[in-house]
Amino acid sequence: MKDFWKRFRYNRGAVIGLFILAFVIATAILAPVLFPQSPWKMVQRPFLPPFTQDGLMLGTDALGRDVMAGLAHGAYVSLLVGLVSTIVALAIGVPVGALAGYFAGRTDDALMRFTEFFQTIPSFALAIVLLAIFQPSLTFVIIAISIVSWPPVARLVRGEVLSLRTREFVEAATLSGLGNTQIILRHILPNALPPIIVLASLMVAQAILLESSLSFLGLGDPNIMSWGYMIGAARTVIRTAWWLSFLPGMAILLTVLALNLIGEGLNDALNPRLTRKSE
């Protein structure tokens, strides 16, 4: 664990990413305290530019709502969607991949064709279709994102398991009389964890982007203030009030960048052999 932290810290980008993410998380948690009022409430005249009035540092939007409050509450939504949908995607993808890789043969064929069925449809188009069928609430946004993002997990886990199951320690476990479930859970998956963790960190970023894109198109939960919705609403006034699109855009950019940097750092720290020159 100490080694892990040492190697992680060595990647300066990853540490910066961690700081940005910590800031976003803090904002999300503190949003209800700092901005107790609903972000939907009109507080001033519309199109107030940033830094022109005390208490409304980032100005107001087309309906006179506080942009800063919107960003803070949006952070909560983005992180929630990113995290929960990744967990759900892992919960689908890891078992599918593990079963396919471990049992191989027909099980593998069946599960992988099923996975490919999802992979052949462009994920964003599928998410749109799913949300068009469901009602657009936060729960369904999360479900839609999970459904389109589990196939790569299944693929990755399958590959890892395929190579691990022929290792001698797995054979030894078989000879010791361990059942399949025990072998998968105790011998194979723990050794397949590092790449899964790295992928998960990148999936959170992907999910945040997806959620923003969906909200931008107006397919998000209409009762929840999110970054994507803010950009979508400001789209029509981009020439007169560019900051209304720019600020939430920056928020998305920084958060996704932070997660990608962390992902890379995790990759270096968890796969020390693949790390570039250590000088």
Partner 1 sequence: MTLLSIRDLDIALPVGADRLYAAKHINFDLAAGEILCIVGESGSGKSMSANAIMGLLPQGVKPVNGSITFDGKEILGLSEREMLPLRGGRISMIFQEPLSALNPLMRVGAQIAEVFEAHGALNGAERRERALKLLDEVGIPDPDAAIRAYPFQLSGGQRQRVMIAMALALEPDILIADEPTTALDVTTQAQILKLIEDLRKSRGMAVIFITHDFGVVADIADRVIVMQKGEIVESGSADDVLLKPQHPYTRALIDAIPRLTRGGDVEEVKHTPILTVEGLQKTFSTGSGTLFGKRRVVKAVQDVSFELYAGETIGIVGESGSGKSTVGRCIVRLLDPDGGRVLMDGADIAHMSGAELRDQRRKLQMIFQDPFSSLNPRARVSRILTEGLIAFGTPKADAQTKARELLELVGLDASAMMRFPHEFSGGQRQRIGIARALALDPSIIIADEAVSALDVSIQAQVLDLLAELKERLHLSMLFITHDLRVAARICDRIIVMQKGRIVEAGPVGKVLHDPDTDYTRSLLDAIPGQDYERALAEAE
**Structure token digits, residue 79:** 């992180």
Specify the residue, 190 or 222, whose C-beta has the smaller distance to partner 1: 190
Specify the residue, 49 or 195, whose C-beta has the smaller distance to partner 1: 195
Position 96: which residue type?
V
Asked whether the beta carbons of 226 and 213 are under 8 A apart, the reply is: no
Spatial separation of the C-alpha atoms in residues 170 and 165, rounded to whole Å: 6
Asked whether the beta carbons of 157 and 94 are under 8 A apart, the reply is: yes
Max Cα-Cα span within the chain:
75
Specify the residue, 26 or 193, whose C-beta has the smaller distance to partner 1: 193
Helix intervals (H) in 104-136: 105-120, 123-133
Residue 39: name the closest of 87, 76, 8 by CA: 76
Specify the residue, 120 or 176, whose C-beta has the smaller distance to partner 1: 176
Interacting residue ranges for partner 1, rule: CB under 8 A: 167-169, 171-179, 182, 186-187, 190-191, 277-279
Specify the residue, 57 or 172, whose C-beta has the smaller distance to partner 1: 172
In sequence order, the 6+-apart residues with CB closer than 8 A to the CB of 23 are: none
Specify the residue, 169 or 242, whose C-beta has the smaller distance to partner 1: 169
**Secondary structure class of 121 (helix, strand, coil):** coil
CB of 2 vs partner 1, minimal distance in Å: 13
CB of 130 vs partner 1, minimal distance in Å: 35
Spatial separation of the C-alpha atoms in residues 149 and 152, rounded to whole Å: 7
CB of 174 vs partner 1, minimal distance in Å: 7
CB of 214 vs partner 1, minimal distance in Å: 39
**Structure token digits, residue 176:** 């010791």
CB of 184 vs partner 1, minimal distance in Å: 13
Exposed/middle/buried for residue 172 (C-beta within 10 Å: 0-12, 13-18, 19+): exposed
Position 265: which residue type?
G
CA angle 146, 151, 156 (to 5 degrees): 125
Specify the residue, 122 or 272, whose C-beta has the smaller distance to partner 1: 272
CB of 11 vs partner 1, minimal distance in Å: 17
CB of 193 vs partner 1, minimal distance in Å: 8
